[in-house]
Amino acid sequence: MLRVLTLAVALSLGGLPAQAAERVRVAATPGPHAQILEAVKPVAAKRGIDLQVLEFSDYVVPNEALSAGEIEANSFQNQPYLDNQKTDRGYKIESVALTVNFPLGIYSKRHKSWDSLPDGATIAIQNDPTNGGRSLLLLQDKGVITLKEGVGFKPSVADIVKNPKKLRFVEVDAAQTPRSLDDVDAAAVNTNYARPAGLKPGDAILREDPKGPYVNVLAVRSADKDKPWVKALIESYRSPEVKAFVEKTFEGAVLPSW
């Protein structure tokens, strides 16, 4: 595994090099995940970590890059999504800490409330099993649809057994759900894509309850999980400084788990 040490230029008073900072590259999706990691940077620096944030615009590449050793960690996904990726792709990746929760919302440009949606309305949901399933579970939780028993966290449209409003579902890439609002009656949009698109949590016509299994995680390769830099990164992320940043910056759209 590639490990790059950034040598400090300054010398200590005793004439010896200052302690080297270990570079840790962390992938995140644009928006809150990346913003939070930028707030982690100065905290991590105090613990000897030179944190570098790399932004990826989808949900697939960050795990590919982590598995390939191109980065040391990622922070963008919840546990059900990671479990699905590990099952499907055989990644040896582990979650090492809970981070923040992004309550999922369903938004509309055409309708001001869920009750105003007509029968046969078109709803865009994410095309990956975990996030698409999460949207369907939200609709079931709100009494909109009924799913087959035992579907777990990854139901599909085919698992819908009751659909009184005869809703039609369109599956699109998670990053494209905000754009789909011009073409559908409503769309399920993850918070990290909603905020950059100008969608506020209060604008959602349905919203996920804040508690549940979808708290996001910090992930590293299984071989690295017990290394000292991982502990330092976790402590930096879950620090009082970062918690204060999350609460002030996102005003309830993003919830710290610590």
According to CATH, the superfamily of the domain at 105-207 is Periplasmic binding protein-like II (3.40.190.10)
Amino acid at 185: D
Question: Across residues 2-18, what is the average pLDDT?
Answer: 36
Count of C-beta atoms within a 10 Å radius of residue 38: 12
pLDDT in tens, 228-242: 999 999 999 999 999
Q: What is the pLDDT of residue 61?
A: 96
Q: Which of 177, 155, 10, 170 is nearest to 105 (CA)?
A: 177
User: pLDDT tens digits for 41-67?
Assistant: 999 999 999 999 999 998 999 999 999
Domain boundaries, the chain: 5-102+213-256, 105-207
Burial of 132 (0-12, 13-18, 19+ CB in 10 A): buried
- Contact (Cβ atoms closer than 8 angstroms) between residue 69 and residue 1: yes
Task: Convert the pLDDT of each residue in 130-143 to its tens digit.
Answer: 899 999 999 999 99
Q: For all residues of the chain together, what is the average pLDDT? A: 91
Cα(188)–Cα(140) distance, integer angstroms: 13
* 34 pLDDT more than 90: yes
5-102+213-256 matches 105-207 in fold = yes
Q: What is the CATH number of domain 5-102+213-256?
A: 3.40.190.10
CB neighbour list of residue 178: distance below 8 Å, 6 or more residues apart:
107, 187, 189, 193, 194, 196, 197, 199
Distance CA 79, CA 85 (A): 10
Give Rg (Cα) of the chain.
20
Task: Pull the structure tokens for residue 237.
Answer: 């992320």
Neighbouring residues of 149: CB distance < 8 A, sequence distance ≥ 6: none
> CA 101 → CA 108, 212, 229, distances in Å?
22, 9, 24
Nearest to 188 by CA among 130, 128, 143, 123: 123
CB 71 within 8 A of CB 52: no
* Interatomic CA distance for residues 178 and 196, integer angstroms: 9
Q: What is the pLDDT of residue 192?
A: 82
Residues 31, 197: Cα–Cα separation, whole Å: 10
The pLDDT, as a whole number, for residue 150 is 93
Cβ atoms of residues 45 and 57 within 8 Å: no
Name the more confident of 11 and 171.
171
pLDDT score at 200:
86
Of 8 and 180, more confident: 180
pLDDT at 11 over 50: no
Q: Is the pLDDT of residue 94 over 80?
A: yes
